[in-house]
Amino acid sequence: MRCYIRGLLRAVAMLLSAVVALCLALPAFALECKTAPMVSSAEFVVTVDPSTAWQPRSGQIRILIQSNTLSLKDVAVQACFKWSGLDNDAFQPAPLVQLVEIVGDIPGKAVYSVSVPDRALPPVKSNWFGRLFGSSTAAPGDPDSYDAARIVPVADLRIVLRKSGAALAVADRSVGITSVWTAVGITAGTVLVVLVILVLWARSRQVPGTDPLMRLIATREGYVSLSQFQIVMWSFLFGAGAVYVMGLSGSLIDIPAGALVLLGISGATIIGAKISDVNAKAQPPGRPPPSTATIRPGPVTGLTLTNVTDRGVTLSWTPPAVVAGAEVAVYIVRYARAAFADWRSASDSYQGTSFDVTGLQPQTAYLFEVQTSNAAGQGPAVQGQATTAAPVQNVRTPVWSDLVVTPEHPGELDVTRVQMLLFTLIAAGFVAIKLFNSYIIPEIPQGILVLMGISNGTYLSAKFVRN
């Protein structure tokens, strides 16, 4: 026990000594930055990574140092910060300068990570909105001053390269010191406004359920759509990320190509899913038999419109009297909104006598038209009119398990849905972590894009094959 206590006391003493040494070294380090001679050496090129040129306090700025003749292995890199315009006495040392990598096999080219001081830099006096609208009255050189309408306060980053205590080169670069809480507030406010708008829109669609989030990804039939979940999730993640990064940097940003590819994959998936659903409900087109008719057919009789719902109408009719040489080959079905006469074809080769027109708008007056046709030409068209019903709230309430099961088999997991959901969540987690750690929208690795493409393709293939 005594040995354990003695060892613990020795470790505490060593830790305190290290802390005291560090505290004593920091003022000396700051003094070195303030008094460092401005050595302009053509042997060294110091570049700030543009994607990290603006960072919050405690953020990491990456710099690239390159020398064509000297090795950086024996060169010490020091960094200090001060608000732009202040004198050298305001320099504060960076808490950490760390070598990230030696680029390639070139010892004279390396990447370093510089930590932005947290509490050493004085606070900015004016708020973000004051700088945005130009209401700040700060004199040039004050922390809250800005140039060229930049809303992010500008700081000077001084990089000092030393070897054996002697300064080899000193480089001053401008960086932006931004506020995470400001960006978070802007992002939260933007997301809240968009959510309110979407929830109000979902209510107008008469989507079942009361959960506002589920309303965004549910269909009118009362089922949660996996493809809609994916496109909504990616849109919110990249949209909120773009607002967050722009709130940090105070400027527009480039959206990486990988993010656009993911949005494209999601958009193609939701369109493909809708096409599959429409195909499942569509009437079989049929193939008109060979016809030797020489006389155009007569009109249909007894056209009736039944089963009028908020989205569809059933048309039924009686074929015209059989006349030699004027046999009906196919029926042409058209419909249009009565107020606009925007005629569109429902089928131009139908052979039955009862047809379901779907995809209509609720509470809208429609004109319907059935016309006979054969090899000799088209017969007279017969029209009818009906007004679709008001939208009806579906009694089924969507549940989250709809994401991994199909409406046809509600008690069984659909492996294609599970695969698509799993890879989507993995990719979203990667993007979110990189976004809020690096303060940039990351490039999506090609492997993740391939996985997303495969999983979405498998999901769509299963829908089309099943139908």
Angle between helix 446-466 and 257-281 (nearest 10): 0
pLDDT above 80: residue 70: no
Higher pLDDT, 316 or 465: 316
Calpha distance 466→323 (Å, rounded): 42
Mean pLDDT of 372-387: 92
Greatest mean pLDDT among 97-101, 140-144, 248-252: 97-101
Count of C-beta atoms within a 10 Å radius of residue 96: 13
Quote the strand ranges of 236-376, DSSP E.
301-306, 313-318, 330-337, 344-350, 354-357, 365-374
Residue 171, beta-bridge partner list: 159
Give the pLDDT score at 23: 44
Higher pLDDT, 140 or 202: 202
- Which of 135-144, 268-277, 328-337 is predicted least confidently? 135-144
**pLDDT tens readout for residues 393-425:** 656 778 888 888 877 676 778 888 888 888 888
E strand or H helix at 20: helix 2-35
Give the pLDDT score at 24: 37
Tokens found for residue 299: 């009109």
**pLDDT tens readout for residues 258-267:** 788 877 887 7
Share of the chain above pLDDT 70, in %: 76
In contact, 415 and 219? CB cutoff 8 Å: no
pLDDT above 50: residue 209: yes
Q: How confident is the model at residue 19 (pLDDT cuts 50, 70, 90)?
A: very low
Give the pLDDT score at 370: 95
Cα Rg, the chain, nearest whole Å: 35
pLDDT above 60: residue 30: no
Does the predicted model carry a pTM greater than 0.95?
A: no
Average pLDDT over the chain, rounded to whole?
Answer: 79
Tell which residue, 217, 227, 272, 264, has the closest CA to residue 444.
Answer: 264
Relative to beta strand 344-350, strand 405-406 is unpaired
Chain centroid to CA 169: 43
CA atoms within 13 A on the CB side of 388: 24
**pLDDT tens readout for residues 228-256:** 888 888 888 888 888 888 777 766 666 77
